[in-house]
Amino acid sequence: MSNQAESMTAQVARGLEGIVAAATHISEVDGENGRLTLRGYDVNELSGRVTFEEVAYLLWYGKLPNRAEYNELCAEMSAARDLPVPVLEALRVLAPHASGMHILRIAASMLSIGDDDVDNLDHAQCQRRAARIQAQMPALVAHTWRLKNGLDIVPPRREHGLAEGFLYMLEGKEPSQARIDGMNAYLVAISEHGLNASTFTGRCIISTDSDMVSAQTGAIGALKGPKHGGVPGPVLKMLHEIGTPDRAESWIRAELAAGHRIMGFGHRVYKVRDPRAALLSAAAEKMVALTGDTSLFDLTRAVEQTTVRVLAEVKPGRDLYANVELYAALILHEVGVDSELFTPCFAIGRTAGWTAHMIEQIQDNRLIRPSAVYVGPRGLQWLPMDIR
């Protein structure tokens, strides 16, 4: 049988599309109906009612915490927020030379420092390690940002929750409640989303019986790519270029005519509006009502409406609607986070889901090892170097 014939008989799922690679209790992404379920809860049931720490506990332990469990988790994460001295010293040297996801990938790889039992994959140990990694991610992002910009590190405060603590470490001042609520809503919305590229990477790494810090670092590397997590910054750039709602249609049509993708629209799974876009839109609307400046929110909503209409005309049948990145860009901007940190902030929130999947993979582990179909030449003959 020829190579071509062999490749035709084997069913190659490019990008593993349509391949079921895991059975999970963690989340369900219903692309046809636009629903996201976390451990049995529709994400709409949780939005605006729970803190990010509660969602993290839900993902790690399979249930929402009671008051005692919640307080214990918050105390555990608060105590873990201080980075080890060797990590801080390394960040001071490295941060001026890298930025964004590059420095976060480097920094995350150092989280094994201070964890003398990092290779222990015991279930309870992994749950505690998940809380530790989650607690330290905001510190990594905030500290490296400040160091890169010539500012001193702001040590964390024990009384802060994760969202409040991140903004405090980033700026060195107490954030307003509106900004804390906006950041918390963002982190809840993006905490977990099934077997996406970064989550799959983390599960692949942990399936080798490697450690959670290595899996976390690999997941960050996967998230960095613009086809996965690197889009919120360009979304904000797009909104600024459009400028006003009346310019939206001409700008969008020009981009499509040039063969460019419209950032913040379309999703590999969702065939309707991304439910996380709805959550973040509602959170942003609540936030701008408090701040009094609705201009960017109004522009974003107008751009969404116009883009969906134009895409339906230009690309009929493609089911291209707003995804999470459109309103993620808006809410992070309203919270006051620099666009360079949009994807690192995504990594902070998604750490809850990544680590939950690592824990689940370890519980019923089998080395992830898919096959490939060879379609290259055969029968080549070796020739000496001088006559090749």
Which positions are annotated as active-site residues?
267, 325
Query: Tens of pLDDT along 315-327?
Result: 998 889 988 888 8
Q: Which residue has better confidence, 339 or 227?
A: 339
pLDDT of res. 357 = 98
Query: Tens of pLDDT along 86-126?
Result: 999 999 999 999 999 999 999 999 999 999 999 999 999 99
Which of 59, 356, 120, 325 is closest to 216 using CA atoms?
Answer: 356
Parallel, antiparallel or unpaired: strands 41-42 and 27-30: unpaired
Residue 230's identity, in one-letter code, is: G
Across 59-69, average pLDDT:
98
Residue 31 near residue 276 (C-beta atoms within 8 A): no
pLDDT of res. 354 = 98
State the Cα–Cα distance between residues 205 and 219, nearest whole angstrom: 9
pLDDT of res. 17 = 84
The residue whose two tokens read 């929750």 is: 161
Residue 296's identity, in one-letter code, is: L
Across 115-141, average pLDDT:
97
Start and end residues for every CATH 1.10.580.10 domain found in the chain: 27-226+340-363
> Domain 27-226+340-363, what fold?
Citrate Synthase; domain 1 (1.10.580)
Residue 328 near residue 232 (C-beta atoms within 8 A): yes
Q: Does domain 232-334 have CATH number 1.10.760.10?
A: no
Helix (H, G, I), strand (E, B) or coil at 294: coil
Whether the pLDDT of residue 246 is over 50: the answer is yes
pLDDT of res. 1 = 46
Which of 133, 75, 355 is closest to 67 using CA atoms?
Answer: 75
Start and end residues for every CATH 1.10.230.10 domain found in the chain: 232-334
Which of 354, 352, 348 is closest to 165 using CA atoms?
Answer: 348
- Cβ atoms within 10 Å of 383's Cβ, excluding its own: 8
Whether the pLDDT of residue 8 is over 70: the answer is no
pLDDT of res. 231 = 61
Q: Which two tokens stand for residue 107?
A: 């920094």
Confidence of residue 29 (pLDDT cuts 50, 70, 90): very high
Q: Exposed, middle or buried: residue 201 (CB in 10 Å: 0-12, 13-18, 19+)?
A: buried
Q: What is the dihedral of CA 111, 357, 354, 159, to 10 degrees?
A: -70
- Cβ atoms within 10 Å of 365's Cβ, excluding its own: 14
Whether the pLDDT of residue 339 is over 50: the answer is yes
Q: Give strand pairing partners of 27.
A: 38
Whether the pLDDT of residue 150 is over 70: the answer is yes
pLDDT of res. 158 = 94
Question: 324-335 and 295-314 are packed helices; what angle lies between their axes, rounded to 10 degrees?
Answer: 170
Which of 352, 60, 41, 310 is closest to 202 using CA atoms?
Answer: 352
Query: Tens of pLDDT along 278-306?
Result: 999 999 998 888 888 899 999 999 999 99
Which of 276, 317, 283 is closest to 297 using CA atoms?
Answer: 283
pLDDT of res. 5 = 53
Whether the pLDDT of residue 160 is over 80: the answer is yes
Whether the pLDDT of residue 18 is over 80: the answer is yes
Residue 2 near residue 374 (C-beta atoms within 8 A): no
Query: Tens of pLDDT along 203-218?
Result: 999 999 999 999 999 9
**How big is the CA angle at 246 (ends 243 and 252), to the nearest 5 degrees?**
75
